[in-house]
Chain A
Amino acid sequence: MGEDTLYQKTFTITGSDFDKAGEVSTQIKAILKAAGLDSTVIRRVASASFEAEMNVVIHADRGKIDFELTPTAIVLTIDDEGPGIEDLELAMKEGYSTASDDMREMGFGAGMGLPNIKKSSDDFHLESEVGKGTTLRITIKHDEQ
């Protein structure tokens, strides 16, 4: 935990558990509401977190989301154990997806997840090792209003 961390919590995510997919983001939204943040910021964080959570549920075996609130920003670090991403540049392309039809039937997997997360974030860092997993770290500032 950093020196200026106001609150930190780690949530676990289970791959392919579609029943629970989204629970973490609902909890993160509740925390941000309780912290009294602006509703637009809350929506940006919750949307990015939900997309990231769905990515873990869809693609990985398991993962965790580390949530950190500082006086100026929200930092989410999403770490998963799974197949990893072979081509990061291709994965960032709108419309590119490796999700199955089953997943598309759930309203995800149209290749908009990562681009949307990037759009919601002030800082976006993605790294991956094929066969091991993926780490995504995003920062959303909340001190601008």
Chain B
Amino acid sequence: MKLTDVQKHLNAKYLCLDGSDPEISCCMAADMMSDVLAYAEAGALLITGLISSQSVRTADVSDAAAVIYIRGKRPDEKTIKLAEDLNLPLLTTDECMFDACGVLYKAGLKGVC
């Protein structure tokens, strides 16, 4: 699935676009960044409610393809700028974590485990 498909499925808005439409290989849904760092796979979509700069750092360090924030959350401008510098796409959806995961699972994406 492409990131643009994720955007459509979750009716998401882009906060940061780096000009690419990466392939999403799997999903990680977590607010605990240590879990993401421990179990991440390259090309994963990070679904999180954590909007601190650590969400962007963690996604970058673990080679995530993109980050999507749930419940309409958006990080501050400094964090968005950091994602731009790291060429990491950021999106936000109004869906809650459970529903966002459910929609993407139904659309064919699987979790990292």
A residues neighboring B (CB under 8 Å): 18-19, 21-22, 25-26, 29, 39, 43, 46-47, 49-51, 54, 105-108, 110, 112-113, 116, 119
Answer yes or no: B38 CB below 8 A from chain A CBs.
yes
Please determine whether B60 and A26 come into contact, CB atoms closer than 8 angstroms.
yes
A116–B37 Cα gap in the complex (Å)? Answer: 8
Q: Which residues of B contact A49 (CB under 8 A)?
A: 61
Measured CB to CB, the closest approach of chain A to B29, in angstroms, equals: 13
A106–B33 Cα gap in the complex (Å)? Answer: 8
For window 31-52 of B, CB contacts with A under 8 Å fall at 31-35, 37-38, 40, 42, 48, 50, 52
B residues neighboring A (CB under 8 Å): 31-35, 37-38, 40, 42, 48, 50, 52-55, 57-58, 60-63, 78, 86
Q: Name which residue of chain A comes closest to B52, CB basis.
A: A106
Can you show 28 pairs from A to B with CB atoms below 8 A apart? Answer: A18-B54, A21-B53, A21-B54, A22-B53, A22-B57, A25-B57, A26-B57, A26-B60, A26-B86, A43-B42, A43-B61, A43-B62, A47-B61, A50-B37, A50-B57, A50-B58, A54-B54, A106-B33, A107-B33, A107-B54, A108-B32, A108-B34, A110-B32, A110-B34, A112-B32, A112-B35, A112-B38, A116-B38
Measured CB to CB, the closest approach of chain A to B41, in angstroms, equals: 9
Q: Name which residue of chain A comes closest to B33, CB basis.
A: A107
A43–B38 Cα gap in the complex (Å)? Answer: 10
Q: Which residues of A contact B78 (CB under 8 A)?
A: 19
Measured CB to CB, the closest approach of chain B to A73, in angstroms, equals: 19
Q: Which residues of A contact B40 (CB under 8 A)?
A: 43, 47
